[in-house]
């Protein structure tokens, strides 16, 4: 029996780093955040996360107050991220990485190796990097807080300049 299509409520907000697309479900969970200026990444993320053709997109203004909350974050209310309901579905491994990402304190960074250690898989550094890159709820599930072991900025779906801005915005001393 085919599963029912997931309706995603979609809003777009202006941020200091460009337009952001937010998607939420009817239950009020943030399901995806993406930067539309990153080419076809948005479509790939949607199809990977929900399955091609298994979702509908419905324009919505400030679904569940999530757009307002994200605007607050960009205006300096950094703690608001910790209050947002998120639902991201992946493999058990991906979900363990995403859960660990939410535990990285604002204003700090950790390495991919440290993230692998935190989930109890110290040798899975590359797999952690891949899971980090497939995080559908960037910023709120703060994959931007993960950096290279040498302190360098590496990989970010929204682009390295945006990652640098987010870290500076959060006061992460590098």
The residues assigned a catalytic role are 143
Closest CA to 135 of 61, 30, 37: 30
Instruction: Quickly tell me which residue has 């999530």 as its tokens.
Output: 66
Whole-angstrom Cα Rg for the chain:
16
Q: Which residues contact 25 (CB under 8 A, 6 or more apart)?
A: 6, 7, 8, 9, 31, 87
Can you tell me the distance from the alpha carbon of 114 to that of 165, in angstroms, rounded to the nearest whole number? 22
The gap from C-alpha 161 to its chain's centroid, in whole angstroms, comes to 16
Residue 103 CA: distances (Å) to CA of 4, 26, 48, 98? 32, 26, 24, 9
């Amino acid at each position: 029996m085919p599963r029912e299509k997931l309706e995603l409520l979609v809003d777009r907000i202006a941020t200091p780093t460009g337009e952001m697309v937010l998607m939420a479900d009817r239950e009020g969970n943030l399901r995806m955040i993406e930067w539309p200026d990153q080419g076809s990444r948005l479509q790939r993320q949607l199809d990977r996360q929900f399955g091609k053709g298994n979702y509908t997109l419905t324009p919505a203004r400030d679904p569940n107050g999530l757009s307002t909350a994200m605007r607050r974050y960009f205006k300096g209310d950094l703690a608001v991220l910790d209050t947002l309901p998120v639902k991201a579905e992946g493999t058990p491994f991906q979900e363990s990485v995403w859960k660990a990402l939410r535990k990285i304190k604002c204003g700090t960074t950790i390495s991919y190796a440290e993230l692998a250690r935190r989930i109890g898989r110290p040798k899975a550094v590359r797999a952690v990097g891949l899971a980090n890159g497939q995080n559908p709820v960037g910023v709120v599930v703060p994959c931007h807080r993960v950096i290279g072991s040498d302190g360098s900025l590496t990989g970010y779906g929204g682009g390295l300049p945006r990652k640098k801005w987010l870290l500076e915005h959060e006061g992460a001393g590098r």
